[in-house]
C-alpha cells in the first residue's frame, strides 16, 4: 500500500475503504460520505479511484451501483473506523432491509495497513474482496502492484486479470453538471459530446471580437444557437490562450465572463408555478429544472474559477492543469466541481519555444511525454483533494506542440487512453481551426477557412476515443460527430 501523503492525519494508519451507492443521487451520496470522512478529526481521504458503474452482484433485482475505493489516513483503530463508517451510512439514510440489497451508501473497510484482523464485526482484509471486480478494478487504480496480506506473491493487478469480466463491462462515470448525463468513458457505444467554444475575448486566434460580452442580445443568440445545434458543454473563455497572448487582470477576465454566465443561468431559473389543481389544496411551488448542458470556464486562475463556479458554472477547463496558479487545484477541490487538465509546457507566451516543444524519443516522444506529464498533474490534483472521478484530460493540441506532434497525438489517442495511470479517465480534444490543421491544408489558410480540415480532425479524434470534442462550428461538427459515432461507437 502506498505511503500516506504529507497531509495525512498525524500518527495515522492507511486504510482502503470501498464505497457504493444505488439509491437516489448516487454521486452525491458518495461525495457526501467522502466529505464526512474528511470532516472527521481522525480521518482524511488521501485519494480516490474513479467511480465505476456496475451491475448488482448477489441480489440482482435492484438498480446498478456506482462503486469505488478511497485511500484514507486515520488514527482510528479498525473497530473505531468501522463505527465511524456505520455512523456515516446512518447519517446518509441507509436502512438495511435486504442483505446486499439497495442502499443509499455502503462503506466497507477493505484493507488496513497490511494487517490481518478478525472479530465478530469485522474481517480485514475484506473476506470477499478477491471475487469482486467492483472492488479490485478501482483498487488497481490506487495500488495495482500491492499484494494481498494472505497471498504476498500475487499483486492485485494479477488477481484482477484472472477474474471473469463483467457483462456488460464496467465503465468509469464522470459527472459534469446536474441534469446532464455523465461521461461513461469505457462504454464503446457512448456518444461523443460537443463542447462549443465561446471566446469572449477581442484577441483569440480564430474568433477574437466575434462574441462581445457587452452585446447581450447577440450573445444570447450565440449561446442558444450552440445549444440548439447540439452542444452539451459551453466553454466560456475570457482570457486568450493563443500563442504569445498577453495576460489580463483577473477582474477583466471575470467582467468578460459575467454576462454569458448570467444568461446561461437564466435558462435554468425556476419555472413559473403551475395553476393549482382543483383536487389539491396545497400551494403551487416553483420548480427548478437543471439545465441539460454544462457551463465550462476556460481559465487558469483560481480566483476566476472560484467566482465562476459560485456564479453557477460547472466545470473548469485549465490549459495549464494547475501549473500557472498554485491555488487552482486546491480551489477546485474545495468547490467539488470537475476539472479538465490540459497538457502544456510553459505559458501562452513561451509554449512554442523549442525547449517546450522537445520530447525525448528515448522516453516515448510526444505521446510518452504527454502521458507522463499528465499523470503527474493527475497526482497533483489528487494530492490537492480533487476526486479522481472529477478529472478529465486534454493532450493540448497546438500547445507546446509542433504541427507534426499534434498530428501524432491525434493518431495515437487510443494509446494515450490506455496509458498507465490514465486509463478510465475521459478525454477532451480541441482540434478545431488549429495551426496543425491549417498546415495540413496548405500555407495561407486562415483559421476561418479550416472547417473541412477541422471536420477530418474531429472524425479522427472520435475514432481514437475522444469523449468530448471542442469545436467552433457546432452544427457542422455535430453532423461529423454523429456519423463518426455511427461508424466507430458500436
Residue 289 has what pLDDT? 61
Query: Distance between CA 130 and CA 343 in Å, rounded?
Result: 36
Residue 275 has what pLDDT? 41
Order the strands of the 468-471 sheet from edge to edge. Answer: 391-394, 338-342, 315-318, 294-298, 233-237, 193-199, 468-471, 428-429
* Residue 210 binned pLDDT confidence (cut-offs 50, 70, 90): low
The DSSP bridge partners found for residue 393 are 341, 427
- The hierarchical CATH code for the domain 176-268+290-488 is 3.20.20.20
Residue 58 has what pLDDT? 73
Contacts of 442 (CB under 8 A, 6+ apart): none
Q: Is 106 a catalytic residue?
A: yes
Catalytic residue (choose from 47, 103, 470, 478) = 103
Residue 271 has what pLDDT? 43
Q: Evaluate the omega torsion of the peptide bond into residue 189 and state whether it is cis, within 30 degrees of 0.
A: no
Residue 2 has what pLDDT? 40
Q: Is 442 exposed, middle or buried (0-12, 13-18, 19+ CB in 10 A)?
A: exposed
Is residue 188 helix, strand or coil? coil
Q: Is the pLDDT of residue 460 over 50?
A: yes
Q: Grid coordinates representing 318?
A: 485549465
Percent of the chain, pLDDT > 70? 89
Express each pLDDT in 52-109 by its tens digit: 999 887 777 778 999 999 999 999 999 999 999 999 999 999 777 666 668 899 999 9
Catalytic residue (choose from 47, 106, 132, 345) = 106
Q: Give Cα 390 distance to the centre of its chain.
A: 4
Q: Is the pLDDT of residue 31 over 50?
A: yes
DSSP string, 384-420: HT--GGGEEEE--TTSS--HHHHHHHHHTHHHHHTST
Question: Phi/psi at 47 (nearest 5 deg)?
Answer: -165, 165
Domain(s) labelled CATH 3.20.20.20 in the chain stretch across: 176-268+290-488
Catalytic residue (choose from 26, 44, 47, 94) = 94
Inter-residue contact 259 to 214 (CB < 8 Å):
yes
Mean pLDDT confidence for 206-227: 79
Q: Grid coordinates representing 422?
A: 490514465
Q: Grid coordinates representing 222?
A: 450565440
Q: Residue holding cell 451501483?
A: 65
Centre a 10 Å sphere on the Cβ of residue 242 and count the other Cβ atoms it contains: 16
* Residue 284 binned pLDDT confidence (cut-offs 50, 70, 90): very low
Query: Distance between CA 379 and CA 423 in Å, rounded?
Result: 14
Residue 416 has what pLDDT? 98
Query: Distance between CA 45 and CA 333 in Å, rounded?
Result: 12
DSSP 8-state secondary structure symbol assigned to residue 8? S
Q: Is 99 a catalytic residue?
A: no
Query: Distance between CA 56 and CA 379 in Å, rounded?
Result: 31
Q: Evaluate the omega torsion of the peptide bond into residue 220 and state whether it is cis, within 30 degrees of 0.
A: no
Mean pLDDT confidence for 102-122: 95
Mean pLDDT confidence for 32-61: 92
Lowest mean pLDDT among 3-12, 326-335, 387-396: 3-12
Q: What is the CA radius of gyration of the chain?
A: 24
Centre a 10 Å sphere on the Cβ of residue 148 and count the other Cβ atoms it contains: 17
Q: Is the pLDDT of residue 233 over 80?
A: yes
Alpha helices in 207-273 (DSSP H): 216-228, 250-266
* Residue 30 binned pLDDT confidence (cut-offs 50, 70, 90): very high
Query: Distance between CA 156 and CA 187 in Å, rounded?
Result: 23
Is residue 141 helix, strand or coil? helix
Centre a 10 Å sphere on the Cβ of residue 301 and count the other Cβ atoms it contains: 25
Domain(s) labelled CATH 3.30.70.560 in the chain stretch across: 13-169
Look at domain 13-169 and name its CATH class.
Answer: alpha beta
Mean pLDDT confidence for 128-157: 96
Lowest mean pLDDT among 59-73, 228-242, 291-305, 437-451: 437-451
Pick from 185, 183, 208, 184: which is nearest to 197 by CA? 208
Pick from 185, 298, 184, 311: which is nearest to 259 by CA? 311
Inter-residue contact 253 to 213 (CB < 8 Å):
no
Strands 468-471 and 193-199: parallel
Express each pLDDT in 147-172 by its tens digit: 999 999 999 999 999 999 888 899 99
Catalytic residue (choose from 108, 113, 207, 250) = 108
State the number of CA atoms in the 13 A half-sphere of 258 facing the CB.
Answer: 8
Q: Grid coordinates representing 24?
A: 437516489
Q: Is the pLDDT of residue 287 over 90?
A: no
Residue 325 has what pLDDT? 97
The DSSP bridge partners found for residue 15 are 72, 112
Q: Is the pLDDT of residue 350 over 90?
A: yes
pTM: 0.91
Percent of the chain, pLDDT > 90? 80
* Residue 444 binned pLDDT confidence (cut-offs 50, 70, 90): low
Residue 245 has what pLDDT? 74
* Residue 252 binned pLDDT confidence (cut-offs 50, 70, 90): very high
Longest CA span, the chain: 76
Q: Is 94 a catalytic residue?
A: yes
Query: Distance between CA 61 and CA 42 in Å, rounded?
Result: 37
Q: Which residue has the higher pLDDT, 39 or 207?
A: 39
* Residue 22 binned pLDDT confidence (cut-offs 50, 70, 90): very high
178 φ/ψ sector (left φ>0, alpha ψ -120 to 50, else beta): beta
Amino acid at each position: 500500500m502506498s505511503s500516506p501523503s504529507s497531509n495525512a492525519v498525524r500518527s495515522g494508519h492507511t486504510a482502503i475503504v470501498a464505497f457504493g451507492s444505488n439509491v437516489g443521487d448516487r454521486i452525491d451520496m458518495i461525495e457526501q460520505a467522502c466529505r464526512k470522512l474528511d470532516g472527521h478529526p481522525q480521518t482524511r481521504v488521501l485519494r480516490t479511484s474513479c467511480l465505476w458503474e456496475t451491475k448488482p452482484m448477489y441480489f440482482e433485482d435492484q438498480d446498478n451501483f456506482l462503486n469505488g475505493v478511497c485511500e484514507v489516513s486515520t488514527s482510528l483503530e479498525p473497530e473505531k473506523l468501522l463505527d465511524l463508517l456505520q455512523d456515516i451510512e446512518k447519517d446518509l439514510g441507509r436502512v438495511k432491509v435486504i442483505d446486499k440489497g439497495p442502499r443509499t451508501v455502503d462503506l466497507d473497510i477493505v484493507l488496513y495497513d497490511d494487517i490481518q484482523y478478525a472479530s465478530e464485526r469485522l474481517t480485514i482484509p475484506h473476506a470477499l474482496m478477491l471475487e469482486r471486480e467492483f472492488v479490485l478494478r478501482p483498487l488497481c487504480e490506487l495500488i495495482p502492484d500491492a499484494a494481498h496480506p494472505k497471498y504476498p506473491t500475487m499483486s492485485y493487478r494479477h488477481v484482477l486479470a484472472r477474474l471473469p469480466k463483467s457483462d456488460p463491462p464496467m465503465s468509469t462515470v464522470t459527472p459534469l453538471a446536474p441534469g446532464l448525463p455523465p461521461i461513461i468513458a469505457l462504454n464503446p457505444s457512448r456518444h461523443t459530446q460537443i463542447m462549443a467554444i465561446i471566446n469572449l475575448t477581442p484577441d483569440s486566434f480564430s474568433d477574437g471580437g466575434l462574441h462581445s460580452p457587452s452585446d447581450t442580445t447577440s450573445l444570447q443568440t450565440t449561446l442558444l444557437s450552440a445549444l440548439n445545434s447540439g452542444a452539451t458543454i459551453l466553454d466560456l473563455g475570457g482570457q486568450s490562450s493563443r500563442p504569445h497572448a498577453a495576460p489580463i487582470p483577473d477582474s477583466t477576465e471575470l467582467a468578460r465572463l459575467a454576462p454569458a454566465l448570467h444568461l446561461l443561468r437564466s435558462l435554468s431559473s425556476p419555472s413559473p408555478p403551475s395553476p393549482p389543481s382543483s383536487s389539491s389544496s396545497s400551494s403551487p411551488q416553483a420548480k427548478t429544472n437543471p439545465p441539460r448542458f454544462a457551463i465550462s470556464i476556460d481559465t487558469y486562475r483560481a480566483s476566476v474559477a472560484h467566482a465562476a463556479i459560485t456564479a453557477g458554472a460547472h466545470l473548469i477547463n485549465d490549459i495549464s492543469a494547475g501549473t500557472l496558479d498554485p491555488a487552482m487545484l486546491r480551489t477546485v477541490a474545495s468547490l467539488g466541481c470537475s476539472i479538465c487538465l490540459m497538457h502544456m509546457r510553459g505559458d501562452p507566451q513561451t509554449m512554442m519555444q523549442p525547449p517546450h516543444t522537445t520530447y525525448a524519443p528515448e522516453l516515448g516522444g510526444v505521446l510518452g511525454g504527454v502521458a507522463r506529464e499528465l499523470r503527474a498533474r493527475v497526482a497533483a490534483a489528487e494530492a490537492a483533494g480533487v476526486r479522481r472521478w472529477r478529472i478529465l484530460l486534454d493532450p493540448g493540441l497546438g500547445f507546446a506542440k509542433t504541427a507534426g506532434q499534434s498530428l501524432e497525438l491525434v493518431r495515437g489517442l487510443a494509446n494515450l487512453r490506455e496509458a498507465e495511470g490514465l486509463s478510465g479517465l475521459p478525454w477532451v480534444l480541441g482540434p478545431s481551426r488549429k495551426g496543425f490543421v491549417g498546415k495540413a491544408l496548405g500555407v495561407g489558410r486562415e483559421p476561418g477557412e479550416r472547417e473541412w480540415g477541422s471536420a477530418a480532425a474531429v472524425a479522427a479524434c472520435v475514432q481514437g476515443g475522444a469523449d468530448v470534442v471542442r469545436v467552433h462550428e457546432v452544427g457542422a461538427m455535430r453532423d461529423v460527430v454523429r456519423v463518426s459515432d455511427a461508424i466507430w461507437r458500436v
